[in-house]
Copies of this chain bind each other. A is one copy, B any other.
Amino acid sequence: MEPTLEFIKSNEKRFLDELFNLLRIPSVSADSKYKGDVAKAAEFIKASLEQAGVDKAEICETKGHPIVYAEKMIDPKLKTVIIYGHYDVQPADPINLWNTPPFEPTIRDGKIFARGSCDDKGQVFMHVKAFESMMKTNSLPCNVKFMIEGEEEVGSSNLGEWIRENKKRLTGDVILISDTSILANDTPSIEVGLRGLSYVEVEVTGPNRDLHSGVYGGAVGNPIQVLCDMITSMKDKNNHITIPGFYDDVVELTKEERIELNKTPFDETDYKKDLGVDELVGETGFTSLERTGIRPTLELNGIWGGYTGEGSKTVLPSSAFAKISMRLVPNQSNAKITKLFTDHFNKIAPKSVKVKVTPHHGGEPVVTPTDSVAFKAAAKAMEKTFGKKPIPTRGGGSIPIVALFEKELGLKSVLMGFGLDSDLIHSPNEHYGVFNFMKGIETIPLFFRYYSEMSK
Interface positions of A (Cβ within 8 A of B):
195, 197, 199, 201, 206-209, 211-222, 224-225, 227-229, 231-233, 235, 275-283, 288, 291-292, 295, 297, 299-308, 311-317, 320-323, 325, 327, 350-353, 360-361, 395-398
Contact = CB atoms under 8 A, between A and B. Distances in A.
Contact of A276 (B197, B201, B208, B360): B208
B276 A218 contact: no
Contact of A279 (B212, B278, B350): B350
Given A213-B327, A278-B351, A304-B305, 19 more contacts: A206-B275, A208-B275, A212-B397, A213-B299, A214-B327, A215-B395, A217-B325, A219-B281, A221-B277, A221-B279, A221-B281, A224-B231, A225-B232, A225-B299, A227-B303, A279-B352, A303-B303, A303-B305, A306-B323
Contacts of A225: 231-232, 235, 299-300
Nearest to A313: B301
Contacts of A316: 299, 301
The 6 closest A-B pairs by CB, nearest first: A208-B276, A302-B306, A224-B300, A214-B397, A221-B281, A279-B351
Given A301-B315, A314-B301, A217 B292 contact: yes
Given A217-B396, A220-B281, A283-B218, A199 B312 contact: yes
Contacts of A300: 222, 224-225, 228, 305-306
Contacts of A395: 214-215
A314 B308 CA distance: 22
A231 B397 CA distance: 30
20 contacts: A197-B214, A199-B312, A208-B275, A213-B325, A214-B327, A215-B395, A217-B327, A218-B282, A218-B291, A218-B297, A218-B327, A225-B232, A228-B300, A278-B351, A281-B352, A300-B305, A301-B316, A303-B303, A303-B304, A311-B360
A302 B7 CA distance: 65
A86 B437 CA distance: 77
Given A214-B197, A276-B208, A281-B221, A302 B308 contact: yes
A233 B216 CA distance: 22
Given A207-B275, A218-B292, A292-B219, A325 B299 contact: no
Given A278-B351, A396-B215, A398-B214, A301 B307 contact: yes
Contacts of A224: 231, 300, 302-303, 322
Contacts of A228: 227-229, 231-232, 300, 303
A225 B301 CA distance: 10
Given A207-B276, A277-B221, A304 B304 contact: yes
A360 B218 contact: no
A278 B214 contact: no
Given A216-B292, A218-B291, A352 B302 contact: no
Contacts of A314: 197, 199, 301, 325
A316 B299 CA distance: 7
A424 to B, nearest CB: 13
A319 B224 CA distance: 17
A401 B112 CA distance: 68
A267 to B, nearest CB: 13
A288 B219 contact: yes
Nearest to A233: B232
Nearest to A320: B303
Contacts of A303: 224, 227-228, 303-306, 308, 320
Contacts of A397: 212, 214-215
Contacts of A277: 206-208, 220-221, 352-353
A277 B292 CA distance: 41
A203 to B, nearest CB: 12
A219 B199 CA distance: 19
Contacts of A361: 312
A311 B228 CA distance: 21
A60 B51 CA distance: 93
A361 B310 CA distance: 13
A222 B219 CA distance: 31
Given A224-B303, A229-B232, A275-B207, A352 B280 contact: yes
Nearest to A360: B312
